[in-house]
């Protein structure tokens, strides 16, 4: 399912279709991230092997970055952070790299907006 997310490209040209696909991605992320952060199979071995985990994290990060607005990314990443920090026994998904990229992009946006106001 997560691989299909990655392949769900936004349609160029049709603004309504593009917005609909974006909303589907947001809804999927909001539905699945809490479950993934609390995932476990009741034994000491992880549910995913390291290759699968890396691939899943990459797909989730790409999906988050494909969201058009910084505010949408913020909502998804804050949801992840809330659930991830409340489940220390879970070892996946760790979207720290996506969070750092979002923080950097937000800072740059804030600086550019403040520079526009000063002009």
What single string gives the DSSP state of each residue in 22-47?
A: HHHHHHHHHHHHHHHHT---SSSS-S
- Predicted TM-score (pTM) of this structure: 0.75
Residue 50 has what pLDDT?
78
Give domain status of residue 5, yes or no.
no
State how many domains the chain has: 1
Give domain status of residue 71, yes or no.
yes
Give domain status of residue 2, yes or no.
no
Give domain status of residue 46, yes or no.
yes
**What is the domain range of residue 38?**
16-118
Give domain status of residue 8, yes or no.
no
Give domain status of residue 108, yes or no.
yes
User: Which tens digits make up the pLDDT trace of 1-49?
Assistant: 666 666 665 556 677 877 887 888 888 888 888 877 776 655 555 567 7
Check pLDDT > 90 for residue 100: yes
Distance between CA atoms of residues 119 and 105, nearest Å: 21
Write the CB contacts of 34 (distance below 8 Å, at least 6 apart in sequence).
79, 83
Joined tokens for residue 3 = 């691989």
Residue 17 has what pLDDT?
79
User: Which tens digits make up the pLDDT trace of 61-99?
Assistant: 988 988 878 889 999 999 988 888 887 666 668 898 999
Give domain status of residue 24, yes or no.
yes
User: What is the phi/psi pair of residue 6, to 5°?
Assistant: -60, -35
Give domain status of residue 96, yes or no.
yes
Residue with token string 């998804």 = 76
91 contacts 46 by C-beta, under 8 angstroms: yes
């Amino acid at each position: 399912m997560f691989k299909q997310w990655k392949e769900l490209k936004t349609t160029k040209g049709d603004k309504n279709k593009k917005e609909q696909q974006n909303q589907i991605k947001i809804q999927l992320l909001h539905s699945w991230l809490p479950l993934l952060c609390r995932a476990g199979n009741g034994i000491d071995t992880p549910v995913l092997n390291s290759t699968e985990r890396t691939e899943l994290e990459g797909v989730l990060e790409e999906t988050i970055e494909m969201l058009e607005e910084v505010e949408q990314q913020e909502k998804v990443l804050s949801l992840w952070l809330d659930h991830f920090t409340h489940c220390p026994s879970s070892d996946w998904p760790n979207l720290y790299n996506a969070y750092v990229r979002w923080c950097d992009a937000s800072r740059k946006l804030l600086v550019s907006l403040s520079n526009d106001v000063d002009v």
